[in-house]
Amino acid sequence: IWARLAKKIGHSKTYTIGLASYGVSLLFSVFIVDAFQYYLVSILNGVSGSSFLIMLSPVFADCYDEIAVKIKKHQQTTLIGIRNVFVRISVVIQSFIIAIIYALTYYDPGDESHQFEALLGLRIIQGLIPFIVCIVGALIFYKWFDLKGTKKQELTLKLRELGL
């Protein structure tokens, strides 16, 4: 499904649609009250999340190609290493956000008196914050990712000229 859509409208638009739809599907996690809703939201998360993840590789490939043209040399391994540093930093930031939300909602697994606040904290962590991050990311990507159309074709020609 997503590969066909990417052929019609391009990798970057499909990536943006996937990231935004994934964010919206994550927002539905805030409203889950029973197992059936959980299953429906999980299916929606899987479908929308797969579009985002499938398009990640072609988008990265376009970025790597642009850098290769600028420096006239392929540097994928270095770029993947830099990307992994940012992934690790995001895990640390995520841990701090979870700790802050738990502290604000008085999360204590042994104390049942704060059950509502704990549930609210979990819903914020699983739904609201990921929704905001995905929507902001999709908007930023849509606005500033410019490897589309003629620029992408020119990039491909330059790669061929350089023999990369």
Per residue in 34-60, pLDDT (tens digit) is 999 999 999 999 999 999 889 988 989
How far is Cα 150 from Cα 11, in angstroms, rounded to an integer?
14
HSE-up (13 A, CA, CB side) for residue 124: 17
* pLDDT tens track for 146-156: 877 778 888 88
- Of residues 6 and 92, the one with the higher pLDDT is 92
The DSSP 8-state label assigned to residue 133 in this structure reads H
Residue 28, φ and ψ in degrees, nearest 5 = -60, -20
Dist CA 117 CA 101 (whole Å): 10
CB atoms inside a 10 Å sphere around CB 52: 23
Q: What is the pLDDT of residue 87?
A: 93
Q: Where are the domains of the chain?
A: 2-162
* Predicted local confidence at residue 41, as pLDDT: 94
Q: What is the mean pLDDT of the chain?
A: 89
Residue 84 has pLDDT above 80, yes or no: yes
The two tokens of residue 87 are 């992934």
What would the pLDDT profile of 91-145 be if each residue is shown by its tens digit? 999 999 999 988 888 777 777 777 888 888 889 999 999 999 999 999 999 998 8
Other Cβ atoms within 10 Å of 115 Cβ, number: 11
The whole-model pTM stands at 0.83
Stretch 27-33: mean pLDDT:
92
